[in-house]
C-alpha cells in the first residue's frame, strides 16, 4: 500500500506545495479553453465522457492505481466520483454552450468560498488568521477580474448557475479527499474515482455520439483535457489536499481566472480592462496569504 506521510497541514507552504499549487491552477485554467475548442465539434456529453475516460486510462498505467481500497472507505470514494467528477464535469461543457470559457474560469474562482463553508460546517476546518484574510482578498480579486471582463458579453443565467453548482461540488470534494489520499496515495484514489466516473458519465456520452463530428483540433483538445487536465491534474490536486488540507488547496482556483483570462486574450481575442489587471494582482496576493502558516 502506498501512503503519504502526514504533515501538519496548517504549516507554511513548502516549495513542493507551491509547485503543485501553480501547476494545478495553470492546467485547470487551460481546461476551459480546451472545452471551448472541443465544443466546436463534439457534444458536451461526449466531451465529459472522453475527458473522464482518458484521465482514468492515463492513471491506470501506474502500478499505484492497483492499490486496494478498504471496503469501509469505498462509500467516500463513490461519493467523490459523483461530486468531484460526474456532476461538475458534466456541468462545465453544458455551461460553456451558454457562457464563454473566460467567464467560466472566472466564476470557478468561487470554489474556495464553498470549500471553506463546507469545511467549517461539516469538517471542523474553519480557515483562520492569514487564510481567512486570503479567502476574502482572493474572492475580491476574482470579483474585480469578473467585473473588469464583463465587456466581453453578458453571461447567461443558466450557465452561471451551472458553474456555481459545479464549484459547490468541488468545495465538497476537496474536504472529502484528504483522508483517503493520506491513506492510499493520490494515484490510487484518483484512478478509481475516475474509473467510477467513467461509468456514471457513459450514458450521456453515448447519447452525444450522434450529435458530434470528427475534427483533429477539437479531438486533440479533448485528449489534452483528459490526460493532462484530468488525470495528471487530479493527482496533483489530491497530493496538495493531503499536504495542506482541502480548504487551503482550493485556493489554487484563484490562479484559474488568471490563466483562463490570459488564454482568452491570446486565443479568443478577449478584451482585458485595467480593472481586470488589478484583479489579477489581488488574486495573487490572496494566494500568497493562503500559503502562510495558520495561527
Mean pLDDT of the chain, nearest integer: 83
User: For residue 243, what is the enclosing H or E element?
Assistant: helix 233-244
* Secondary structure (DSSP) of 54-65: HHHHHHHTSGGG
In a domain, 232, yes or no: yes
Average pLDDT over residues 76-104: 91
The domain of 83 spans 15-290
Q: Per DSSP, which regions of the chain are E strands?
A: none
CA distance to 15, 73, 149, 165, 179, per residue, from 240 (Å): 12, 20, 30, 23, 12
The answer to whether residue 114 scores a pLDDT higher than 70 is yes
- pLDDT category at 9 given cuts 50, 70, 90 is low
- Is the sign of the CA dihedral 85, 91, 97, 102 positive or negative? negative
Half-sphere exposure of 234 (CA within 13 A, CB side): 30
Q: Is 227 exposed, middle or buried (0-12, 13-18, 19+ CB in 10 A)?
A: middle
Please tell me the distance from the alpha carbon of residue 150 to that of residue 144, in angstroms, as a whole number.
Answer: 10
In a domain, 60, yes or no: yes
Average pLDDT over residues 169-190: 84
Please tell me the distance from the alpha carbon of residue 54 to that of residue 56, in angstroms, as a whole number.
Answer: 5
Three-class secondary structure of residue 187 per DSSP: helix
Contact 144, 276 (CB under 8 A): yes
- pLDDT category at 2 given cuts 50, 70, 90 is very low
The full 3-state SS of the chain, as one line of letters, equals CCCCCCCCCCCCCCHHHHHHHHHHHHHHHHHHHHHHHHCCCCCHHHHHHHHHHHHHHHHHCCHHHHCCCCHHHHHHHHHHHHHHHHHHHHHHHHHCCCCCHHHHHHHHHHHHHHHHHHHHHHCCCCCCHHHHHHHHHHHHHHHHHHHHCHHHCCCCHHHHHHHHHHHHHHHHHHHHHHHHHHHHCHHHHHHHHHHHHHHHHHHHHHHHHCCCCCCHHHHHHHHHHHHHHHHHHHHHHHHHHHHHCHHHHHHHHHCHHHHHHHHHHHHHCCCCCHHHHHHHHHHHHHHHHHCCCCC
- Whole-number pLDDT of residue 152: 53
- Whole-number pLDDT of residue 155: 62
What is the tens place of the pLDDT at every residue in 146-168? 666 555 555 667 888 888 899 88
In a domain, 136, yes or no: yes
In a domain, 63, yes or no: yes
In a domain, 19, yes or no: yes
Per cent of the chain over pLDDT 90 is: 36
In a domain, 259, yes or no: yes
127 or 206: which leads in pLDDT: 206
In a domain, 262, yes or no: yes
- Whole-number pLDDT of residue 3: 43
- Letter string b/e over residues 89-104, b meaning 16 or more CB atoms within 10 A of that residue's CB: bbbbbbbbebbbbbbb
In a domain, 5, yes or no: no
The answer to whether residue 6 scores a pLDDT higher than 60 is no
Locus of grid cell 478509481: 192
DSSP state of 10: T
- Whole-number pLDDT of residue 130: 73
The mean-pLDDT minimum among 121-125, 140-144, 194-198, 265-269 falls in 121-125
Query: How many domains are contained in the chain?
Result: 1
Amino acid at each position: 500500500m502506498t501512503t503519504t506521510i502526514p504533515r501538519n497541514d496548517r504549516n507554511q507552504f513548502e516549495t513542493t506545495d507551491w509547485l503543485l499549487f501553480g501547476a494545478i491552477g495553470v492546467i485547470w485554467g487551460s481546461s476551459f479553453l480546451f472545452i471551448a475548442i472541443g465544443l466546436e465539434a463534439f457534444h458536451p456529453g461526449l466531451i465529459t465522457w472522453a475527458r473522464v475516460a482518458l484521465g482514468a486510462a492515463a492513471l491506470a498505467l501506474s502500478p499505484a492505481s492497483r492499490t486496494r481500497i478498504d471496503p469501509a472507505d469505498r462509500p467516500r470514494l463513490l461519493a467523490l466520483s459523483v461530486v468531484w467528477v460526474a456532476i461538475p464535469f458534466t456541468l462545465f461543457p453544458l455551461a460553456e454552450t451558454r457562457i464563454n470559457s473566460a467567464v467560466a474560469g472566472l466564476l470557478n474562482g468561487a470554489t474556495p468560498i464553498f470549500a471553506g463553508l463546507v469545511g467549517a460546517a461539516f469538517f471542523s476546518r474553519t480557515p483562520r488568521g492569514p487564510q481567512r484574510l486570503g479567502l476574502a482578498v482572493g474572492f475580491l480579486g476574482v470579483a474585480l477580474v469578473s467585473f473588469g471582463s464583463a465587456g466581453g458579453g453578458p453571461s447567461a443565467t443558466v450557465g452561471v448557475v451551472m458553474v456555481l453548482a459545479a464549484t459547490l461540488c468541488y468545495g465538497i470534494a476537496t474536504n472529502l479527499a484528504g483522508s483517503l489520499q493520506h491513506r492510499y496515495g493520490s494515484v490510487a484514489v484518483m484512478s478509481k474515482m475516475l474509473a467510477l466516473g467513467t461509468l456514471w458519465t457513459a450514458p450521456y456520452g453515448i447519447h452525444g455520439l450522434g450529435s458530434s463530428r470528427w475534427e483533429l483540433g477539437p479531438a486533440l483538445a479533448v485528449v489534452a483535457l483528459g490526460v493532462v487536465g484530468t488525470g495528471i491534474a487530479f493527482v496533483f490536486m489530491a497530493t496538495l489536499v493531503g499536504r495542506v488540507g482541502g480548504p487551503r488547496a482550493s485556493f489554487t482556483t484563484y490562479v484559474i481566472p488568471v490563466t483562463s483570462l490570459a488564454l482568452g486574450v491570446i486565443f479568443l481575442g478577449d478584451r482585458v480592462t485595467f480593472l481586470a489587471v488589478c484583479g489579477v494582482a489581488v488574486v495573487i496576493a490572496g494566494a500568497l496569504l493562503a500559503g502562510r502558516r495558520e495561527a
